[in-house]
């Protein structure tokens, strides 16, 4: 079912029905009336109180095998299959895994107690560029989001572009403890099931739940606060659990994009932003802990986030960054870090020959991501950092956006999908491991609702697309513009 649709005008406001119906399992209330607005495979839909609702004469799906595993049943036995194991066939609905019913409780499976039919093999070890000579795992959650987006389109050329988006890999964000528990192992299993013979399937995850997360912004603040108790939770309920799953699935390559925006904030915002000063201890301790845990696993490659060209591109910021990142990496010994990731969830073009060091760029010598990485490579090497390789997020930088200041970051208009995920994409830059889509196009940067608790002023700026939903929620208009403006074209 669509996550959002242009709702038609409804004049009747009615109370929510108390009777259970099929739509509740999809996150929508039951209708109190029977006026049908839309019909799909889930059932009959109405609109009440400005929201979709399910009409109760459509029976709710019977209980199925997945409920005993803590996952809901899919709304239809004909739901798209994204993954199969010994438990049964899995679909994705309402941003969650669901079990596809087979017509009877238990579904002909083994009751959900047996191990899946994929067993990790011998230890895999990265040798050089982790993105080379592997197949990229396709994120099933994003595929489901795009399917829901396509359901809202009528333009055949736009639909064709959206269909192509489902064929490219992007990162899976572990942005809460709950989401980590729901998505990490399930996707590791999915990638392992795709492996055959010498072919390895690489899965990319974003580790993103530090206490005091994103201290200089409001739209993407996390669930854990900057205090000792939440640091203990971060370690025991988040990092340790990730470590356990990574140790189990040792026969497949994994890349971790580590805590976007965190260390870059320590470089530039400690003095200006009290929340960043409060978070410093927890950012440093959290990074040391996770590098010690993950950095000794031979099948796992880590990249620390370094912001983007218009954050740390100036000479003094790069020099300070070298000291900060060198200290952080050393604190995680004996764990190793492969390198760094730039432009995560940002829009800075890979190359912009129209810009140079001058008043327009506030005298930034690195006004695009290519020049930024060239400078950072030299500076980080000079700072004594041993392994300096990069992954550039090209999910939304294919077209120069409309922003009037290069620091604008929220839901920028003029967005376009950039270069496709690819290993070693630039000749002569052997330290550039990959272009990769880290921030999924179509997922909002933050809400434009000024009354919202997580409203950030940048999301209300002139060049920020509006109205926009909360960070991470689907933003149909932004997605459509991004695929229209794709460069190279889809």
Strands in 83-84's sheet, in edge-to-edge order, are 83-84, 89-93, 96-99
In whole angstroms, give the CA distance from residue 109 to residue 128: 41
Read off the tokens for 12: 């009747």
What are 92's strand-pairing partners? 97
Sorted by sequence, the CB contacts under 8 Å of residue 195 that are 6+ apart come out as: 201, 251, 252
Question: What is the per-residue DSSP string for 170-236?
Answer: B-EEE-SHHHHHHHHHHHHHHHHHH-BTTB-EEEEEEE---TT-STT-STT--SS-SSHHHHHHIII
Q: Which residues are catalytic?
A: 214, 261, 445
């Amino acid at each position: 079912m669509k996550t959002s649709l242009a709702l038609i005008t409804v004049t009747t406001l009615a109370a929510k029905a108390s009777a259970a119906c099929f739509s509740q399992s999809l996150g929508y209330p039951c209708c109190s009336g029977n006026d049908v607005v839309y019909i799909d495979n889930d059932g009959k839909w109405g609109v009440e109180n400005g929201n979709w609702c399910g009409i109760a004469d459509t029976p709710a799906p019977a209980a199925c095998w997945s409920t005993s595993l803590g996952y809901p049943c899919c709304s239809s036995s004909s739901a798209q299959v994204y993954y199969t194991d010994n438990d049964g066939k899995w679909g994705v609905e309402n941003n969650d895994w669901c079990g596809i019913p087979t017509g009877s409780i238990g579904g002909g499976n083994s009751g959900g107690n047996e191990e899946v039919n994929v067993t990790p093999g011998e230890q895999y070890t990265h040798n050089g560029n982790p993105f080379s000579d592997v197949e990229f795992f396709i994120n099933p959650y994003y595929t489901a989001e795009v399917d829901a987006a396509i359901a809202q389109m009528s333009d055949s050329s736009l639909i064709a572009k959206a269909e192509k988006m489902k064929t490219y890999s992007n990162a899976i964000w572990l942005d809460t403890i709950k989401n980590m528990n729901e998505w990490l192992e399930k996707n590791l299993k999915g990638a392992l099931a795709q492996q055959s013979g010498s072919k390895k399937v690489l899965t990319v995850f974003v580790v993103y739940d530090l206490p005091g997360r994103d201290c200089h912004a409001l739209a993407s603040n996390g669930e854990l606060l900057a205090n000792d108790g939440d640091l203990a939770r971060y370690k025991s309920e988040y990092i340790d659990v990730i470590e356990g799953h990574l140790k189990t699935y040792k026969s497949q390559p994994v890349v971790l994009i580590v805590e976007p925006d965190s260390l870059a904030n320590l470089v530039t915002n400690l003095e200006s932003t009290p929340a960043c000063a409060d978070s410093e201890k927890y950012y440093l301790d959290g990074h040391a802990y996770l590098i010690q845990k993950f950095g000794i696993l031979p099948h796992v490659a880590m990249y620390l986030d370094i912001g983007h060209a218009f954050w740390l591109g100036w000479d003094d910021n790069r020099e300070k960054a070298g000291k900060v990142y060198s200290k952080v990496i050393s604190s995680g010994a004996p764990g190793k870090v492969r390198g760094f990731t730039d432009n995560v969830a940002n829009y800075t073009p890979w190359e912009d020959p129209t810009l140079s060091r001058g008043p327009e760029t506030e005298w930034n010598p690195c006004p695009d991501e290519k020049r930024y990485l060239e400078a950072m490579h030299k500076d980080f090497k000079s700072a004594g950092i041993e392994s300096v390789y990069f992954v550039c997020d090209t999910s939304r930088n294919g077209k120069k956006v409309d922003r009037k200041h290069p620091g604008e970051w929220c839901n920028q208009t003029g967005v376009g999908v950039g270069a496709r995920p690819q290993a070693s994409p630039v000749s002569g830059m052997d330290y550039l491991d990959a272009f990769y889509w880290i921030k999924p196009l179509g997922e909002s940067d933050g809400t434009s609702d000024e009354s919202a608790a997580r409203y950030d002023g940048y999301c209300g700026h002139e060049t920020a697309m509006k109205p926009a939903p909360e960070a991470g929620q689907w933003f149909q208009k932004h997605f459509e513009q991004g695929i229209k403006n794709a460069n190279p074209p889809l």
